[in-house]
């Protein structure tokens, strides 16, 4: 294996939570509220979480067949050498693409909300310095770092929910299901893909200490994400109303700006954004690490660390050229390309690979899995 | 030895890298480069037959406090801020032209109140609202108010108790909403939501510039006596006077204090307030303090008309009476409760009538229909402007008197 780190099941669930949470709470509420109106929280509760569950189940089933290898390592084994290597290369590029998308999102947020005159490159580079160092040190270090970041992130989300809770007006959440389920579903298909990012489990599974606990930790993550995302969007729509929410670019940030408790606790948005940034750095570290491991295993390198700098540079270039400075392109990618793009490599490709593995009887069968 | 070398090299490398951060980033804001503006004013002025925007910012004065010790010649409400205004095509143009006069960048993240001049309110505020929500600086909790006349004049009013006009304005609006319930309380998010919601109109508190009724010798100290008697005009103060009612984004009219109280009753926003009643026709009045109110509005859709049933429940205390009209006995309390109910119902009916005349649905009746019966609302949404003035309302108020203050029996003059 390329990375000799080991993570426990609790660390895995924290890591998986951190791959989904920062993006899923930052701007999706406004997109869901645009389509679903006051029923946006139902949209998060039912269809989006369901999609995440399905992706998680498929990925666990696939990963348990090859408990000691990452996804790109056993792809050639399942589908044959040439298609496998090609698919592994595609996945490497996909991971790099997602990493640059996350970078662009972070840079856009920081530059819109705080540092308006700063050009994009310094922001991206500062983030990348921390991330590249983490990837260099390995997955175990990232997991341990996340043990620090995760409670702070949860605490900041919890504080946000509690501090604006008394501004909720339940009338903003009515009428419930006035136009049936169609708006709920149409509001969910764009942002469900963020919940499907749990497919990164395919690249993290080999490091898990006790493979039989994977089910438990993944289900914990999905339930936690369901609860937190639903609560955040419930609170956002309760405080602002669906019309205002759909106008805001970053509803999480605007909600944080609205906190005012007894005129003492005001302008708390800074703390919430700091913890959010810590979370997004962990997410970026996970995706960049997966990209490096995927590149190293596709090209049969011994040491994945030699791919870190090139991949980081490619990410920066893609982010700068395509998304970070070109807001319209970012929105266009996100609205038009991302849904099907994400669906195919999160759900469809692992699903097909799993099917092929079952048919061709590749990897460990279920009786052998329970022994490992 | 090798390890020490390595550590030294790393230390040198890190110092070189981090020294790039000492230079300061693009968004550094030095404290002496910014001018903190705590209240903002927006006016429309006509220059050469074209409407332009006059943006005024109430900035905190930066000169250090003068004197100390004996010569406290400044009156107790001395003004620590000054107004600087600039003219431009629209908000952003005026804001950036502000620096043609002011040497510092404006810093509006601490703005507590925004005043909209009457002319601009009548012309429409939707363009300004777009700027308010889009830029990152203004806080969503900034209070918005309309002032009679020009906002630039209103911002030059004299603060009486606080040292800054902005703090005084914000507290004024807060306290009069929570204690007297005679004016509404709208922040930027609520304003945006009311503008976007189809069945509800915007209502903002209304400020008026008046001369203080007290004589000047009470306010200022001895040193200013000669100045004042020398004919210098006295500064005016800002007073809350009801509310301004909008249709879409243009101001349609005003509600006076009683009508505003009625409006707050109907929209379930009445906190505490005093309610004077006349018990008999002979100039005898009894005053109650209303504590909690809870209003429920239900739409009743008939075939060709819409009715609303408004139920108000609340508690109150007896706090003042003249000539022992109300004794602490059951019949008197019951009589008084009936009178309170009637008075509250009158207020509500008055305010609904006034708003129907102005054709402005500040109560959100349209959005109540949209919430409870969305199918019907889809049919009449386009014609709500015609349907609203024909809406009937039935008000049923039910108040309970809790106690009667510290006196169990009234003073009977013998």
Q: Quickly list DSSP for A97-122.
A: HHHHHHHHHHHHHHHHHT-SSS-HHH
Please give the full DSSP string across A169-198, using - where no structure is assigned. Answer: -GGGGPSTTTT-SHHHHHHHTTTHHHHGGG
User: In this complex, is the C-beta atom of B51 within 8 Å of any C-beta atom belonging to chain A?
Assistant: no
Q: Is B268 at the interface with chain A, CB within 8 A? A: no
For residue B189, list chain A residues with Cβ-Cβ distance below 8 A.
Answer: 239-240, 244, 258
Range of the domain at A46: 9-366
User: Does A371 fall in a domain?
Assistant: no
CA distance A277 to A271: 10
Overall domain count for chain A: 1
CB-based contact, B31 to chain A, within 8 Å? no
Tell me how far CA of residue B129 lies from CA of B103, B140, B144, in angstroms.
Answer: 27, 12, 11
Say how far apart CA A354 and CA A78 lie, in whole Å. Answer: 9
Yes or no, beta carbons of A258 and B189 under 8 Å apart: yes
The number of angstroms, rounded, from the C-alpha of B374 to the middle of its chain's C-alpha atoms is: 32
Q: Which of A112, A113, A241 sits opposite B193 (nearest CB)?
A: A241
CATH number of domain containing A297: 1.20.1740.10
Q: pTM surpassing 0.90?
A: no
Q: Which of A115, A266, A267 is opposite residue B26, by nearest beta carbon? A: A115
Any A CB within 8 A of B192 CB: yes
> What single-letter DSSP state applies at residue A229?
H
Which residue of chain B has the CA closest to A179? B374
Give the Cα separation of B152 and B57 in Å (integer).
8
Interface contact flag, A244 B371, Cβ < 8 Å? no
Q: What does the pLDDT average to over B44-71?
A: 76
* Tens digit of pLDDT at every position of chain A (372 positions): 677 888 999 999 999 999 999 998 898 888 898 888 888 888 888 888 889 999 999 999 999 888 888 899 899 989 889 999 999 999 999 999 999 999 999 999 988 888 888 888 888 988 999 999 999 999 999 999 999 999 999 999 999 999 888 888 888 888 888 788 888 888 888 888 888 899 999 999 999 988 888 889 999 999 999 999 999 999 999 999 899 998 888 999 989 988 888 778 888 888 888 999 999 999 999 999 999 999 999 999 988 899 999 999 999 999 999 888 888 888 888 888 888 999 998 999 999 999 999 998 877 776 666 554
Sign of CA dihedral B344, B346, B347, B351: positive
8 Å CB contact of B27 and A118: yes
Residue A2 in domain: no
Q: Which residues are CB-neighbours of B126 under 8 A, at least 6 positions away?
A: B195, B248, B249
Say whether residue B26 is in contact with chain A using an 8 A CB cutoff: yes
A1 occurs within a structural domain = no
In a domain, residue A3? The reply is no
Query: Taking CB atoms and an 8 Å cutoff, what residues of chain A touch B139?
Result: 257, 266-267
Contact (Cβ atoms closer than 8 angstroms) between residue B377 and residue B370:
yes
A107 lies in some domain:
yes
Q: Assess B269–A contact: CB distance below 8 Å, yes or no.
A: no
Three-state SS at A9:
helix
A237 found inside a domain: yes
């Amino acid at each position: 294996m390329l990375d000799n780190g080991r993570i426990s099941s609790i660390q895995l669930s924290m890591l998986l939570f951190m791959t989904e949470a920062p993006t899923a709470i930052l701007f999706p509420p406004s997109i869901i509220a645009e389509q679903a109106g006051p029923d946006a929280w139902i949209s998060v509760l039912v269809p989006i979480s369901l999609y995440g569950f399905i992706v998680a189940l498929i990925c666990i089933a696939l990963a348990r067949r090859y408990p000691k290898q990452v996804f790109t390592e056993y792809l050639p084994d399942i589908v044959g050498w040439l298609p496998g290597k090609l698919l592994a290369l595609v996945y490497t590029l996909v991971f790099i693409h997602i990493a640059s998308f996350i970078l662009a999102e972070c840079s856009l947020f920081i530059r819109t909300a705080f540092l308006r005159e700063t050009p994009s490159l310094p922001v991206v580079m500062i983030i990348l310095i921390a991330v590249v160092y983490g990837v260099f040190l390995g997955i175990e270090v990232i997991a341990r770092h996340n043990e620090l970041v995760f409670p702070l992130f949860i605490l900041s989300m919890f504080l946000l929910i509690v501090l604006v809770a008394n501004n909720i007006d339940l009338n903003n959440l009515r009428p419930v299901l006035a136009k049936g389920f169609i708006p709920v579903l149409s509001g969910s298909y764009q942002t469900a893909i963020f919940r499907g990012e749990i497919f990164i489990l395919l690249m993290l599974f080999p490091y898990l200490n006790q493979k039989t606990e994977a089910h438990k930790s993944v289900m914990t993550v999905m339930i936690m994400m369901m609860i937190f995302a639903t609560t955040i969007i419930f609170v956002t729509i309760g405080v602002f109303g669906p019309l205002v929410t759909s106008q805001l670019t970053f509803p999480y940030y605007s909600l944080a700006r609205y906190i005012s408790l007894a005129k003492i606790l005001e302008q708390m948005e800074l703390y919430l954004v700091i913890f959010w940034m810590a979370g997004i750095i962990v997410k970026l570290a996970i995706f960049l690490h997966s990209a490096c491991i995927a590149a190293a295993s596709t090209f049969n390198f011994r040491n994945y660390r030699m791919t870190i700098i090139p991949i980081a540079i490619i990410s920066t270039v893609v982010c700068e050229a395509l998304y970070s400075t070109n807001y319209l392109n970012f929105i266009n990618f996100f609205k038009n390309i991302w849904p099907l793009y994400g669906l195919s490599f999160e759900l469809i490709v692992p699903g097909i690979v799993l099917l092929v593995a079952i048919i061709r009887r590749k990897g460990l069968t279920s009786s052998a899995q329970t022994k490992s | 030895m090798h390890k020490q070398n390595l550590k030294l090299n790393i230390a040198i490398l890190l110092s070189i890298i981090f020294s790039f951060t000492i230079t300061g980033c693009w968004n550094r804001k030095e404290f002496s480069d910014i001018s903190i503006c705590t209240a903002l004013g927006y006016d429309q002025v006509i220059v050469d037959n074209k409407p332009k925007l006059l943006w005024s910012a109430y900035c905190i004065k930066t000169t250090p406090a003068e004197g100390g010790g004996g010569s406290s010649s400044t009156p107790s409400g001395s003004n620590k801020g000054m107004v600087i205004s600039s003219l431009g095509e629209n908000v952003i143009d005026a804001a950036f032209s502000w620096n043609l006069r002011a040497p510092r960048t404006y810093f509006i993240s601490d703005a507590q109140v925004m005043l909209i001049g009457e002319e601009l309110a009548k012309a429409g505020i939707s363009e300004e609202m777009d700027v308010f929500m889009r830029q990152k600086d203004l806080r969503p909790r900034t209070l918005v108010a309309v002032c009679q006349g020009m906002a630039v004049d209103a911002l030059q009013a004299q603060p009486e108790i606080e040292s800054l006009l902005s703090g005084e304005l914000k507290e004024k609006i807060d306290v009069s909403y929570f204690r007297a319930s005679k004016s509404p309380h709208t922040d930027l998010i609520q304003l945006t939501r009311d503008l976007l919601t189809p069945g509800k109109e915007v209502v903002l508190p209304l400020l008026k510039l008046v001369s203080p009724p007290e004589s000047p010798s009470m306010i200022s100290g001895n040193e200013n006596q000669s100045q004042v008697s020398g004919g210098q005009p006295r500064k005016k103060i800002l007073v809350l006077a009801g509310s301004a009612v909008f249709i879409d984004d243009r101001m349609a009219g005003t509600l006076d204090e009683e009508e505003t109280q009625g409006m707050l009753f109907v929209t379930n926003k009445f906190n505490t307030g005093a309610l004077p009643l006349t018990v008999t026709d002979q100039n005898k009045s009894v005053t109650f303090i209303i504590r909690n109110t809870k209003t429920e509005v239900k739409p009743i859709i008939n075939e060709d008309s819409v009715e609303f049933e408004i139920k108000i429940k609340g508690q109150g205390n007896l706090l003042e009476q003249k000539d022992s009209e109300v004794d602490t006995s059951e019949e008197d309390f019951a009589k008084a409760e009936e009178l309170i109910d009637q008075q509250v119902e009158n207020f509500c009916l008055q305010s609904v009538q006034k708003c129907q005349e102005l054709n402005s649905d500040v109560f959100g009746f349209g959005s109540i229909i949209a919430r409870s019966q969305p199918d019907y609302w889809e049919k009449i949404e386009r014609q709500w402007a015609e349907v609203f003035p024909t809406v009937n309302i039935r008000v049923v108020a039910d108040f309970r008197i809790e106690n009667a203050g510290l006196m169990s029996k009234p003073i009977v003059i013998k």
